[in-house]
């Protein structure tokens, strides 16, 4: 899907679809409530797209998140239930006429494997940057949490996705809100992880927000109480969503949702009874 925000071009580019356990995606929300927004398979898994955001602005080419990438073993592919009928992120970029060498900046919303696995690729025995000319932007706190994980977080913080980049000098650690280009900025949106960030694009009187995992599906953005079991600070995430709901309503901002197969992009409106409601873009 493509969008124009002022003179900036945005494009959701796919790294495929993964099937995730619904218990993770919906946490404590009962199945009777969520099954109208996501249809589970026989293993109680629901599809989650891995849509990365390509931003072209002022002659710069920026990609936000890199999906799961191509380093997974066949067993890993099976565990994630990966479907890539049209290839992965690099293939999606090539269809847009963009080679890996063309990317100027990679932003990682956070360092969970489904958002940064495509940062690096295997070349022989070596792990090398997928985007060799890019600077990779990560919040310093996120990098610290990923580099020193605990028993709960270690399964998704996989060193091969970021340590080789740190060692080769490709990573730029940022502290808090940071401008990528005029009107394009990283904003800290804590809760899913402590150092999680999203990307805001405000150009020419228009606005968009790439949420990352601040909200997994559109329904998680509508309903503050709905959140995944993966959020390390759920009540912090709830307040983050409250803040960005207000922003979305005030700016009529386009909301870009990396994991929602049914509504990858939409707008929040106040709705009836004051209950916010997401409406998808056609």
Residues that bind Zn ion (CB under 5 A): 114, 213
* CB-nearer residue toward Zn ion: 67 or 253: 67
Q: Which is nearer to Zn ion, 213 or 260 (CB)?
A: 213
Place of tokens 């207000």: 246
Rounded to the nearest whole angstrom, what is the least distance from the CB of residue 112 to Zn ion in the complex? Answer: 5
Contact 122, 70 (CB under 8 A): yes
Rounded to whole angstroms, how far apart are CA atoms 266 and 219? 11
- Residues in a beta bridge with 106: 63, 136
Nearer to Zn ion, 25 or 180 (CB): 25
Closest distance of CB 271 from Zn ion, Å:
26
Contact 109, 158 (CB under 8 A): no
Contact call for residues 219 and 226 (beta carbons, < 8 A): yes
Q: Cβ closer to Zn ion: 114 or 142?
A: 114
Q: In the complex, what is the shortest distance from the CB of residue 150 to Zn ion, in angstroms, rounded to a whole number?
A: 19
Whether 243 and 233 have beta carbons less than 8 Å apart is answered as no
Shortest Cβ 213–Zn ion spacing (Å):
4
Question: Which is closer to Zn ion, CB of 183 or CB of 212?
Answer: 212
CB of residue 258 to Zn ion, shortest distance in Å: 7
- Please name the residue ranges forming H helices in 96-207: 113-116, 140-147, 163-167
**CA–CA separation, 75 vs 73, rounded Å?**
5
């Amino acid at each position: 899907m493509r969008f124009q925000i002022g003179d900036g071009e945005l494009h959701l580019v796919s790294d495929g679809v993964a099937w995730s356990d619904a218990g993770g995606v919906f946490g404590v929300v009962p199945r009777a409530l969520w099954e109208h927004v996501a249809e589970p398979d026989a293993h109680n898994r629901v599809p989650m797209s891995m849509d990365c955001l390509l931003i072209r602005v002022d002659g710069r080419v920026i990609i936000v998140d890199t999906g799961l990438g191509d380093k997974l073993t066949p067993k890993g592919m099976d565990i994630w239930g990966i479907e890539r009928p049209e290839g992965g992120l690099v293939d999606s970029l090539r269809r847009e006429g963009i080679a890996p060498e063309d990317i100027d900046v990679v932003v990682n919303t956070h360092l969970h494997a489904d958002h940064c696995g495509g940062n690096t690729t295997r070349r022989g025995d070596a792990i090398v940057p997928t985007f060799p000319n890019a600077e990779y932007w990560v919040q310093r706190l996120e990098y610290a949490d990923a580099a020193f994980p605990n028993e709960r977080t270690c399964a998704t913080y996989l060193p091969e996705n970021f340590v080789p980049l740190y060692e080769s000098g490709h990573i730029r650690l940022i502290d808090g809100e940071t401008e990528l280009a005029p009107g394009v900025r990283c904003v800290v949106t804590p809760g899913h992880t402590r150092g999680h960030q999203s990307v805001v694009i405000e150009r020419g009187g228009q606005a968009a927000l790439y949420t990352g995992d601040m909200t997994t599906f559109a329904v998680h953005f509508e309903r503050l109480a709905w959140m995944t079991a993966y959020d390390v600070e759920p009540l912090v995430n709830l307040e983050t969503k409250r803040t960005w709901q207000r922003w979305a309503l005030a700016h009529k901002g386009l909301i870009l949702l990396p994991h929602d197969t049914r509504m990858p992009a939409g707008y929040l409106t106040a709705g009836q009874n004051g209950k916010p409601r997401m409406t998808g873009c056609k």
